[in-house]
Chain A
C-alpha cells in the first residue's frame, strides 16, 4: 500500500512577504519539496535603468522594509566601485554603526517576534506575551534600540534618508550619538540574556553539511563591507567583482523559480551560520564568551539552531555599536565625492539574512545603464528546499499538523525575505489565489 503524505502551507506567516511551500513524501521518500513565491514582481532592475546613480540607494531601499540599509549599502558600494570612490575609515565606521542598528532591529524582530513563538508553541509573539510578557517586552525593547540608532544616524528605521553614494549625507553630532550610549549598554546585557534564553529552547534535530558563503571584511566580522566572498569546503575566496561567475542562477524544474547555486550546481548557505563559520574569531570578545557559555560551535549544522547564532550576532552588533558610539568623533567629511565616469562596479554587504550582491553599469553622465541585484533569500532558496528534503523522512512519525509546523519552522529559520527575492525570482501564480493557511 502506498503511503503518500503532503505537508503544505499556502500562506506562510511570520515571514517577510508572500510564499507557500509543499513537501510531499511517498513511501518514506521525499518526492517534492518546493518553496514557491506568489509575491508580485516590482521590476527594480528594469526601472533603475536611466535613473541617476545618486538616486539608486533611495530606490533600492524600497526593495525591503526590514533591511533597507543593506540595499542602500550594497548599492552605494557597487556605485563607488564604478566611480573609483574610496570612503574614509571615519565614514566606514559611521556606516557600520547604522548597519549595526539594522542588524539589531532585524535580528530582534526575527528572534523574538517571528521565530521564538515556534519554539515556545505560540501562533504569534502577541499571543506569547500572555504567558511570557517579559520576554516579548525585552524583544520589543531591543528592537526599539536598533531603530533608535538608525533614527539618529538616518532619520527613520525604514528607508532612512542619510545613506548615499560616498557615505552618509550628514554625520550626527557627538552629543546626538552619545545619547544612545546607555540604551546600547543595556541592550548588550539584554542580548546576552537572549543568547542564554534561546540556547535553552527545545531544538528540533536536523544535521546538514553546508557550503557556507559570506563576505570577508578585513579583520572585522563582516557587516557593512565585503572586500571579497569566502566559500567553505576548500572552495576559496572569490573577488566581489566576479561573484556572478562563481554563482549561477537557474530554473529549478519543480518550482519554475530562479535559484542561485554555485557553478557546479551545489546549493550554498549565506546568513548568520555562514558568517559565524568563517569569522567566529572576529566576533567581539563578549559575543565569543557568550558562544562558549552556551556551547555553540562555529560550525552550526542544524538550521533550527540559527536562532542561537542570530542571538550571538545580536550581542556582537550591540557591542560593536556601543564601541563605535563611545569612540565617535564627528568626521571632517561624511561622504566622499568624485567626477562621474562610465564604468562597472560590484558591491556586497551582509544583510541580516545574508550576502547581498549588487552590480551596476553606469554611463559618463551618471545614469544607470544596467543593474543586477542578488538578494540573500534568492541565494538560500535552493538550500531551503534541499533542507526540506532532508527533513521530510523525520516528519512521518509526527502528527500531521505538528509536522507541517515543523517544516514551516524550518523555512522560518532562514529568516526569508520574500519581497527581496521577488524582483528576481520567477513566479508561480496559480489561477486561483487561494490563500488560506
Chain B
C-alpha cells in the first residue's frame, strides 16, 4: 500500500471470498465475538456468504479478504475478477498465501490422486497444483496462519480502515516463545521444532503445549532452513522426516518447498 495510502471512504465495502479452503480463516472474522457487531457498523460487510444471505457477487469492494488457494480453473477466473473489482486485496491464511495443505499434491501424479479419492474420476475438474493467490494476481497484504490469528486480522482491518500500514512484526515464532517465557522444547527436550524459521503470529502455541512448532504460519523472511535442518539432524531426525516436516501445512511456500526437496534428494 505505502504510497497509495489515503483517507478511507465512509463505511468502506468489505467482501469475503473463498477458494479451496476449510473456511477456518473466514470464520475467524465471525470469531471476533466482541468486535463483530462494532465492526459491522464501521464497515459494510457487503459480501460474506458464510455469514449472510445478502451477497454481492459481482460488486466492487474497498477491501477483499480472500481465503483459500487456487486449485481449479474456475477459481483462477473468479480470483482475477475479484482483483479487478477490489481496491485492496488481502489474502487470509496459509491456503491463500502459500497454497495450503492441499499443495501437498504439487509435484505428485494428480490423476492418480483423483482416482484414489473419487469413484468417477472423469467428473473431477482440478488443476495439477494448488497455488497461492499471489501466483495469479497482485496482493496488497498477506495475513499468515493456519488459521489466521484474530488479533492480527483486526489489526489489518483497522489499519486499512484508517489508511496506515498494519503493524505486524516479521519475526520468528522463537521471538514470541521467548517473550512468553516458554522453556525451549528444542534445547531442553530435543523436540524437533520449526520455530526458528517460522513466521510469528500464533503466540508460540505448540511449545506451550509441549510440542515443536509445525509451521502453520509459514516461513519468516530469510529463514535459515538449512541451519535448522542441520541442527535437527544432529538430534537424530532423519532426512525423510525432515522433508515431511517442511512439506506440510505451508509446504507450498518456496523456502520450505526448497528445503524439503533438498532433504528428499539426500534421502534418495
- The interface of chain A, by Cβ under 8 A from chain B, is 11-18, 38-47, 49, 51-52, 55, 58-59, 62-66, 68, 109, 113-114, 117, 123-127, 129, 133, 136-137, 140-141, 143-144, 147, 154-159, 161-162, 164, 168-170, 249, 251, 256, 258, 419, 423-424, 426-429, 433, 435-437
Contact = CB atoms under 8 A, between A and B. Distances in A.
B205 A427 contact: no
B23 A64 contact: yes
Interface string B103-117: 011001010111011
Interface stretch (B1-9, B71-79, B253-261): B71-79
Interface string B216-244: 10000000000000000000000001001
Contact of B25 (A45, A65, A123): A65
11 contacts: A14-B51, A14-B52, A18-B49, A42-B20, A62-B249, A64-B23, A147-B31, A156-B202, A158-B24, A170-B210, A435-B78
A46 B36 contact: no
B183 to A, nearest CB: 12
A429 B37 contact: no
A426 B31 contact: no
Interface string B189-208: 00000000000001101101
Contacts of A162: 209
B245 to A, nearest CB: 9
A13 B24 contact: no
Given A126-B37, A155-B203, A156-B149, 20 more contacts: A14-B50, A42-B20, A42-B130, A46-B105, A46-B117, A47-B101, A55-B214, A62-B249, A64-B24, A65-B23, A126-B51, A133-B37, A154-B209, A157-B31, A158-B31, A168-B209, A169-B211, A427-B123, A433-B78, A437-B49
B72 to A, nearest CB: 4
B58 interface: yes
Given A113-B30, A117-B53, A158-B24, A62 B202 contact: no
A39 B126 CA distance: 11
B99 to A, nearest CB: 11
Contact of B21 (A66, A169, A419): A419
Contacts of A258: 118-119
B123 A426 contact: yes
A16 B30 CA distance: 12
A62 B101 contact: yes
Interface of B: 18-28, 30-31, 33-34, 36-37, 40, 45, 48-55, 57-58, 71-72, 74-75, 77-78, 100-102, 104-105, 108, 110, 112-114, 116-120, 123-126, 130, 146-147, 149, 202-203, 205-206, 208-211, 214, 216, 241, 244, 248-249
A330 to B, nearest CB: 13
Contacts of A38: 74
Contacts of A127: 52, 54
A64 B126 contact: no
B198 to A, nearest CB: 13
Nearest to A51: B244
Task: Determine which residue in B53, B123, B249 has the highest number of CB atoms from chain A within 10 A of its CB, and name it.
Answer: B53
A43 B102 contact: yes
